[in-house]
Amino acid sequence: MLNKPVIATLGGHSALEICLGAKKLGFKTLVIVQKGREKTYTHYYRNLIDYPLTVDSFKELTNKEVIIALKKKNCIFIPHRYIQVYCDLDKLEKSFPIPIFGNKYLLKYEERTGKFNQYQLLEKAQIDYPKHFKKAEDIDRLVIVKVKEAIRGYERAFFFARDLTEYRKKAEQLINNGKIKREDLKSAVIEEYLIGAQVNFNFFYSPLDNFLQLLGTDIRRQTNIDGLIRLPTWQQQEVRDDVIPSYIESGHIAVTVKESTLEKAFDLAEKLVKAAKKIVAPGIIGPFALQTAVIPGPPKEKIMVYDLSLRIPGSPGTSFTPYSQYHFGEAISFGRRIAMEIEKAIKVKKITKIIT
């Protein structure tokens, strides 16, 4: 059935990277595009997409008509962040009969609250993460508060506080500005803010080879905080009451790390891979990322994980770091690495080991 699959995904996030990787290895590609935001895939980068499939909303992924179209093309579907933002994960698990590259049952664990969340994985793996506070009254250090946005529920608003008084002041400011809703503060994450160098470690685990690879490292560019930190200190003070910092991701920058840091990062990733197998079999398949802060200690530098990505990270720039070259002798993107794994699984007749 899957001797010559078409590689399919949603039109956003990492779709171009996925499609380029697939095309390099001779696969056909299908991208589900949403009306009003389709020109990137149907016009400007049409060369990468063999079969554009237009829908009114990404929510239609699990609709009967879309499933029939994907079956007809013999697709393997590659999930990315849009799945968690726009689609119904419950339907994806229970009523989406299309082979999905990776472990679709892990996707819901990327959340920070609710019955299934990333802290269950981190605790099982015995990976350190920032201290959490159950209520604002307990704040005793600098924290970052992560609250669902009022308008875009899939995005988060952020603010800093050192104590309950500052928490209430900042929260009221955001409520009055329409950025958040008062009721959403009940489910907000209050987390110790780590002062350290932020690095995303972007890994790939192959169940075919039982081997872990680091494909690249990056940091995020975020609006509007990136603009604020480029202002002189005195100007930051001038605009502090008029501009509320926003951390919405707008891009990534490729970075490198010291070699002495690599083994620590690999150790954390190995622990996560092992823990995931115990919590949600068969565990991690393919790409995932540890979003970290490298803090100075004492006694030594330490990597603290503050967020997880349990699918392809949205950072095509990782291929511009040297780490995939150390594995393969040349730069390999996540899209190409996924296609390589699919190609190998077909060749050795073990496709079921990499799909759910």
* Mean pLDDT value across residues 47-75: 98
- Is 86 contained in some domain? yes
- Is 112 contained in some domain? no
- Is 21 contained in some domain? yes
278 and 260 in one domain? Answer: yes
Write down the pLDDT at residue 199: 96
145 and 23 in one domain? Answer: no
Tell me the residue type at 110.
E
Could you read off the pLDDT of 249-284 as tens digits, one per residue? 788 899 999 999 999 999 999 999 999 999 999 999
Could you read off the pLDDT of 290-335 as tens digits, one per residue? 999 999 978 889 999 999 999 999 888 889 999 999 999 999 999 9
74 and 59 in one domain? Answer: yes
Write down the pLDDT at residue 142: 95
Domain extent for 162: 132-192
Could you read off the pLDDT of 186-229 as tens digits, one per residue? 989 999 999 999 999 999 999 999 999 999 999 988 788 788 77
- Is 288 contained in some domain? yes
- Is 148 contained in some domain? yes
- Which is it for strands 29-34 and 75-77: parallel, antiparallel or unpaired? unpaired
124 and 96 in one domain? Answer: no
Band (340; pLDDT cuts 50, 70, 90) = very high
200 and 274 in one domain? Answer: yes
- Is 13 contained in some domain? yes
**Do the Cβ atoms of 31 and 45 come closer than 8 Å?**
no
219 and 153 in one domain? Answer: no
CATH number of the structural domain spanning residue 27: 3.40.50.20
pLDDT at 1 over 60: no
Alpha carbon distance 147, 143 (integer Å): 13
302 and 187 in one domain? Answer: no
323 and 240 in one domain? Answer: yes
11 and 73 in one domain? Answer: yes
Could you read off the pLDDT of 76-114 as tens digits, one per residue? 999 999 999 999 999 999 999 999 999 999 999 998 878
The total of other beta-carbon atoms located within 10 Å of residue 192's CB is: 18
Alpha carbon distance 249, 255 (integer Å): 17
Could you read off the pLDDT of 129-177 as tens digits, one per residue? 999 999 999 999 999 999 988 887 767 888 999 999 999 999 998 999 8
**Phi, psi of 69, deg, nearest 5:** -65, -40
Alpha carbon distance 234, 251 (integer Å): 27
CB under 8 Å to 302, separation ≥6 — which residues?
128, 264, 294, 295
343 and 200 in one domain? Answer: yes
- Is 156 contained in some domain? yes
Q: How many domains does the chain have?
A: 3
Alpha carbon distance 319, 80 (integer Å): 18
Alpha carbon distance 253, 289 (integer Å): 15
Q: Is residue 283 classed as helix, strand or coil in its secondary structure?
A: coil
CATH number of the structural domain spanning residue 170: 3.30.1490
348 to each of 103, 129, 183, 252, how far by Cα in Å? 20, 39, 53, 36
Prediction pTM value: 0.93
251 and 144 in one domain? Answer: no
166 and 230 in one domain? Answer: no
Tell me the residue type at 329.
G
Alpha carbon distance 285, 106 (integer Å): 10
